[in-house]
Amino acid sequence: MKRRTFCTAAVSSLALGSVSLRRAFAGTDSSPDLPAMGYSGKQTILKGSDIDALRASLRGQLLSAGQDGYEAARKVWNGAFDRKPALIARCVGAADVTQAVRFASAHQLLVAVRGGGHSLSGQSVCEGGLMIDLAPMKSIRVDPLARTARLEPGVLLGQFDREAQAFGLATTAGTVSHTGAAGLTLGGGFGRIGRRFGLACDNLTAADLVSADGRFVRASATDNAELLWGLRGGGGNFGIVTSFEYRLHQVTPQMYGGSLVFPYVEPRALLGSFGQFIAGASDQLYTDCAIVPTPDGKRVVVLDVCHSGTQPEAEKELAGLRKIGKPLIDALRPINYVDLQCAGDANYPQGRSYYIKSGFVSGITPAIVDTVTGYLEGAALPGGIILFSHQGGAISRVQPDATAFFHRAAPHSVMMVAWWDDAQDAERSSQWIRSGWQTIEPHTDGFYVNEVSADDSERRIRGTYGTNYPRLAALKRHYDPENLFRMNANIKPG
Ligand X SMILES: Cc1cc2nc3c(=O)[nH]c(=O)nc-3n(C[C@H](O)[C@H](O)[C@H](O)COP(=O)(O)OP(=O)(O)OC[C@H]3O[C@@H](n4cnc5c(N)ncnc54)[C@H](O)[C@@H]3O)c2cc1C
Distance CA 80, CA 422 (A): 10
Q: What angle do CA 122, 124, 126 make, to 5 degrees?
A: 85
Choose, by CB under 6 A, the member of 39, 81, 160, 190 that binds ligand X.
190
Contact call for residue 175 and ligand X (CB under 6 A): yes
- By CB under 6 A, name the one of 119, 159, 177, 468 that touches ligand X: 119
> Which range touches ligand X (CB under 6 A), out of 1-9, 53-61, 183-191, 314-322?
183-191
Per CB under 6 A, does 240 bind ligand X? yes
Q: Which stretch binds ligand X (CB under 6 A): 64-72, 119-127, 266-274, 364-372?
A: 119-127
CA–CA separation, 142 and 78 (whole Å): 31
C-beta of 460: minimal distance to ligand X in Å?
A: 17
Q: Which is nearer to ligand X, 264 or 448 (CB)?
A: 448
Stretch in the footprint of ligand X (CB under 6 A) among 87-95, 138-146, 173-181, 463-471: 173-181
| Shortest separation between residue 63's beta carbon and ligand X, angstroms | 17
Task: Provide the mask over 8-27, with x wherever binding to ligand X is found by CB under 6 A and - wherever it is not.
Answer: --------------------
Binding to ligand X by residue 158, rule CB under 6 A?
Answer: no
Q: Which of 116, 258, 272, 384 binds ligand X (CB under 6 A)?
A: 116
**Residue 90 near residue 73, CB atoms below 8 Å:** yes
Is residue 234 a contact residue for ligand X (CB under 6 A)?
no
CB of 114 to ligand X, least distance (A): 4
- Rounded to whole angstroms, the Cα distance separating 49 from 30 reads 7
What is the footprint of ligand X within residues 325-364 (CB under 6 A)? Answer: 348
Q: Which CB, 158 or 180, lies closer to ligand X? A: 180
Interaction between residue 174 and ligand X (CB under 6 A): yes
Find the shortest distance in angstroms from Cβ 20 to ligand X: 32
The residue from 149, 241, 395, 440 that contacts ligand X (CB under 6 A) is: 241
The residue among 376 and 387 lying less far from ligand X, judged by its C-beta, is 387
Q: Long-range pairs for 453-456 at CB < 8 Å and ≥24 separation?
A: 453/120, 453/121, 453/355, 453/356, 453/357, 454/121, 454/122, 456/489
Query: Distance (Å, rounded) from C-alpha 233 to C-alpha 237?
Result: 10
77 binds ligand X (CB under 6 A): yes
| Residues 372, 438: Cα–Cα separation, whole Å | 11
From residue 345, how far is each of 138, 176, 348, 470 by CA, in Å?
20, 5, 6, 38
For residues 341, 343, 344 and 348, what is the CA-based torsion angle, rounded to 10 degrees? 90
Q: Closest separation between CB of residue 169 and ligand X, Å?
A: 19
How far is C-alpha 56 from the geometric centre of its chain's CA atoms?
A: 31
Select from 68, 79, 62 the least CA-distant residue to 19.
Answer: 62
Beta carbon nearer to ligand X, 241 or 369: 241
Alpha-carbon span 492 to 486, nearest angstrom: 8
Sort strands 285-293 and 385-390 into parallel, antiparallel or unpaired. Answer: antiparallel
Nearer to ligand X, 18 or 350 (CB): 350
279 contacts 411 by C-beta, under 8 angstroms: yes
Q: Which residues bind ligand X (CB under 6 A)?
A: 77, 113-120, 123-124, 134, 153, 174-176, 179-180, 182-184, 186-191, 235-236, 240-241, 348, 450, 487-488
